[in-house]
Amino acid sequence: MIPIARPSIGKEELMEVEKVFSSGWLGMGSTVFEFENKIRDYIGVKHVVAVNSGTSAIHIALDALGAQEGDEVIVPSLTFAGSVQPIIACRATPVFCEVNKNTLNIDINDVKKKITNRTRIIIPVHYGGEPCDMDELLDIARNKNIHVVEDAAHAFGSFYKGKRIGSFGDAACFSFDPIKNITCGEGGAVVTNNETLAQEIIKKRILGIDKDTWHRYKNERSWFYEVVTSGFRYHMSNINAAIGLVQLGKAEGFAEKKRKICRTYDNAFKNVKEIELLDRNYESIAPFNYVIKVKKERNALLEYLNKNGVGAGIQYIPNHLQPRFKMFYAQLSVTEDVYKKILALPLYFDMQDQDISNVIEAVTGYFS
């Protein structure tokens, strides 16, 4: 079976983890600090706070911005539940909006319709690594005094108008889980140019404890600490950061290989009348997934591919249709229509030419 995705990890990552093991300091320490600094330089942002997952990153960013009961947070329904559960955790109300049918990114016109005097935050999701229209979104948000927290889980390494994703909203949240553009095994990060927000997130990620930077990262314990705010146990470990440091050095190679695969797929499928391609600018994105829209028989194609050794799946089931979020249901005709059509095909760095050919032959063979 050719999987939809898999991490590309090897001896280099093991060697860095071994160094952490040898140091005896497995928790948050100097390796995490180094990882944060390298991400900061890579993205071109002032502050990076590494945490234990992308979902934790969104939650801690919302919490630090003061999201609370009575607030509304606008988010596209066509995203993973990890974009929505943090809103619930803050006791705020998710307001689901439409996506653009050609990009699967947030529909800004629908965002405008959903804004009320209770709207506190907008969460755009850079679906598949394709950046949202941040200029227009930020213009709307600033005029209404609304915060923007980018869900950039898919978009590590992507550019928007010459700048890396992560340097636009009040904060941006990345995921480094096993199948993201780079992995830490598990992990995430919040990035921001706001000093006050960064310091609040730093305190919140380790139970609201305020300790000086030297003791936080030197790999030594200080007996004295002060709990100064509410917080969580969301910090990243040195083990995960060690993996991430190696992966960061491979990020550009990962992105280039996946762009090549996406272009190969596009060329193979562009003349298949039963398939619609998404709008993607491969010159500026680091692709996370490869998704097609199947005009009819999507589920039949999915079953056929899985039976013939090609992993395929649906990314994602709209959240407004999920049982947990039924009280926030909204009529989203575009989202429900694209949900019936989208199909994710295999995309990962270690795909061999034969794997790519097998995927193409399976898809085109089904329609021939």
Catalytic residues: 180
**Residue 70 CA to its chain's centroid (Å):** 26
> CA-to-CA distance for 104 and 77, rounded, in angstroms?
10
Cβ proximity of 190 and 61 under 8 Å = yes
> CA-to-CA distance for 29 and 19, rounded, in angstroms?
13
Tokens 């996506």, residue?
Answer: 99
Cβ proximity of 241 and 13 under 8 Å = no
Structure token pair of residue 5: 């995705």
> CA-to-CA distance for 84 and 76, rounded, in angstroms?
9
Q: How far is CA 334 from CA 84, 97, 156, 338, in A?
A: 19, 10, 27, 6
Residue 138 burial class via C-beta count within 10 angstroms: exposed 0-12, middle 13-18, buried 19 and up = middle
Q: Is 187 left (phi over 0), alpha (psi -120 to 50) or beta?
A: left
